[in-house]
Amino acid sequence: MRESNVVHIRAPVTVVGDIHGQYYDLIEIFRIGGHCPDTNYLFLGDYVDRGLYSIETISLLTVLKLRYPERVQLVRGNHESRAVTQTYGFYTECMRKYGSQQVWQYFTDMFDFLTLSVVIDNSIFCVHGGLSPTIHVLDQIRIIDRFREIPHEGAMADLVWSDPDPDKEEFSISARGAGYTFGKLVVERFLHLNNMDHILRAHQLCNAGYQVLFDDKLSTVWSAPNYCYRCGNLASILEVGVNGERFFNVFDAAPENDRNPQQAQLKVFMAFDASSTSVIGFLKHSLSIILDNQDSKQIFYFLLLNLSYMFVQLAYGVWTNSLGLISDAIHMFFDCLALAVGLFASVMSKWPPNPKYSYGYNRIETISAYFNGVFLVLISVSIVVEAIERLIDPPEMNTQRLLLVSFVGLIVNLVGIFAFNHGHAHGHSHGGHDHHHHHGHDHGHGHGHSANMQGVFLHILADTLGSVGVIVSTLLIQWFGWTGFDPIASMFIAILIVLSVIPLIKQSGAVLMLELDDNVVNQVEGTLNEVSQLKGVVSVNQPRFWPNEAETLVGSLHVQAQDEADLQDVRRRVSELLMSHIDGLKEVCVQVETESSARSRLKANNQLQQHTGAGKGGSGFFYGNTAAGGNGTPSSFHSGGATTATSMNGNQMNFRMMPPQPTVATMGATSGVPTATIGVADPSPVPSHLPYAPPHNAVSAPPMAPPPSSSPVPGLMKKQTKKE
């Protein structure tokens, strides 16, 4: 199927703006506007990225286009791009759902065939973004070579990136860094030269769902309600009648449980009501997660074993009126509490990702391990303090009862060690008095177990050592009659606990602080040097790598390539080299641009700074012969999760770790670009290889309020669709 760059269609037609992977809102659009083929549809682009269901959204639209080619029109938006989709979610979604980039490649190849504009009844010009200073008549659009990646500048880029500005008359530099802003005179001139009446476009978020500018000569339609699941905006579709009349059909977001079932699932986890049914359902669901996972199942079984022994010990202590056994049972309760924390972390780590936690909850296991490690250290300190007190003032001890209880505790812990294959358990060891609460041992195996499981294992091994210590000290007391053996054994075991738990604290703390191991840093440095020597590569800029978990890494970098190089081939070779040479690297975002594009970007940013009076930025970070940073160039970018900023001093690369962000990308503070935002507190730029561009929510002026009913705009009517 091959279409012109300018497709002519007839009214009636329903025009849809940005959707951005909000699949269930697309279903709501069909419910409101009518289903195909009963209703003709014109979609103005930006079908993917940011939402959770980009694959489902573009798949449905593609099938509808193939089934009803004359009734469904798909215009290309700025997000129908390989570079942009690698940054704002579509690439990551394809990798997460299919495990390879093949699906992403198929769709992005298809994007090259989408038309650039549509004309309705020879009177309404429809485009995703806006106008271009190099385009005056439609024939100049028809001769564009669109079957390629969207370039960084030129007419094709302007059509998908430009925005109207009510404060301007002519063209002006866009704060997006791509495309232009244009004013009323530009619109009037274009409409006059092409004998048209109106321009329809999308590309900018409007809180009211739509915006009308320039005396009803240009309209913006936005069709993603509650954008990014947090903006709270309305959305609309525009119904164009046979006589050119236009109806903005405004609607709200689809019901949350339908639109975002992952969030609804989390609500089941986190916020169940007072009814017994929801509590039972929550427990059943959690139990199924526990039993489906080997680690959590082992923790759960050993928790039951510990709880059983705790109740037996408590009952025996009450029956014999033994304060020591009762105290020991209380200590076991805190053991079980630490075990429950590990179990909860193991379950929570299986919860699905959501817009707020795009990497899921895996890191909760690291937090649990850190908590268990610190808890063990505090317990060890209390043991040492109590042991010193007992050395100064030795208490009377019932060694027979102490020996019996300690022997039973040792059996419980040995069962745990062997049942959990040396490394996945929590045990208990206590004598008949209250100071033998021993924990600790860093098993240090390279089995790849999570830090949470290592922390849990420390408890069972420490308690096993405690049981052995109690038995040995009890026998020595019986043989020699000196009770000082007990506190000495306690102090010795406490020291072992601290020494063995320190590696776990350091490891989990390093993951939480996004610290890279020295060996990994050396690997990254060496691999980046190899990347800079690849054929067609000019330089490697802004490399960022950070640990996602204890043994896995995530990274991103920006590559400048020679103008004549095949950018897709360069990206493929760079990705393969990084994945094969850096241990534990499971995901990397490689962005490629040509030298000429980099120069154009720097020039545009410099002009923008001169225009806005912004200060200069940093010097830029790079591997290779040229730097892409400086003069206000964005100097911070990341692809999902945390970011790192890097600097080069000769051959030395310094990693400065920054806290993880829930957004997909960040802009360095050196850009000096002021942005006006509506609805979103963290505007994201276009990828770092493109000039800075505020998101859809950043508009040149506040959205125009709906026209009052007493003085309607000519030819414009609006109707509000209420939810049933």
Residues with a catalytic annotation lie at: 79
pLDDT of residue 610: 64
In the chain, the percentage of residues whose pLDDT exceeds 90 is 35
pLDDT in tens, 25-56: 999 999 999 999 999 999 999 999 999 999 99
List of domains in the chain: 6-261+713-720 (3.60.21.10), 262-292 (no CATH), 294-353+360-512 (1.20.1510), 518-671 (3.30.70.1350)
pTM over 0.75: no
Q: 629 pLDDT band (50/70/90 cuts)? A: very low
Task: For the chain, report the end-to-end CA distance as a whole number of angstroms.
Answer: 39
pLDDT of residue 228: 86
Least confident of 187-196, 316-325, 701-710: 701-710
Question: pLDDT higher for 421 or 579?
Answer: 579
**Could you give the angle at the alpha carbon of 680 between the alpha carbons of 679 and 682, nearest 5°?**
160
* Average pLDDT, rounded, for the chain: 74
Q: 394 pLDDT band (50/70/90 cuts)? A: confident
pLDDT of residue 595: 85
Provide the CB-side half-sphere exposure for 389 (13 A, CA).
8
pLDDT of residue 47: 98
Q: 121 pLDDT band (50/70/90 cuts)? A: very high
Least confident of 18-22, 107-111, 580-584: 580-584
Least confident of 67-71, 406-410, 487-491: 406-410
> How many other CB atoms are found less than 10 A from the CB of residue 392?
8
Answer whether residue 221 shows pLDDT above 80: yes
pLDDT of residue 577: 93
pLDDT of residue 402: 63
**Could you give the angle at the alpha carbon of 600 between the alpha carbons of 596 and 601, nearest 5°?**
115
Helix orientation angle between 276-292 and 294-320, rounded to the nearest 10 degrees: 110
pLDDT of residue 527: 93
- Residue at 192: amino acid letter: H
3-state secondary structure of 136: coil
- Residue for token digits 């579709």? 237
Q: Any alpha helices (H) in 481-544, and if so which ranges? A: 485-512, 518-532
Both structure tokens of 690 = 């493109």
Answer whether residue 427 shows pLDDT above 90: no
Dihedral pair phi/psi, residue 540, rounded to 5°: -120, 120
pLDDT of residue 368: 83
Determine the average pLDDT of the residues in 354-378: 80
CA gap 303, 333 in Å, rounded: 10
CA gap 720, 576 in Å, rounded: 52
pLDDT of residue 122: 95
Sheet with strand 210-213: strands edge to edge: 6-9, 117-120, 124-127, 198-201, 218-221, 210-213
Determine the average pLDDT of the residues in 394-421: 67
Helix H, strand E, coil C: the string for 51-97 is: CCCHHHHHHHHHHHHHHCCCCEEEECCCCCCHHHHCCCCHHHHHHHH
In the chain, the percentage of residues whose pLDDT exceeds 70 is 68
Q: 633 pLDDT band (50/70/90 cuts)? A: very low
Determine the average pLDDT of the residues in 606-626: 47
pLDDT in tens, 78-119: 999 999 999 899 999 999 898 888 999 999 999 999 999 999
pLDDT in tens, 261-275: 444 444 434 443 433
pLDDT in tens, 127-174: 999 999 999 999 999 999 999 999 989 999 999 999 999 999 999 999
pLDDT of residue 215: 94
CA gap 434, 697 in Å, rounded: 62
User: Of 352-366, 464-478, 570-584, which has the strongest mean pLDDT?
Assistant: 570-584
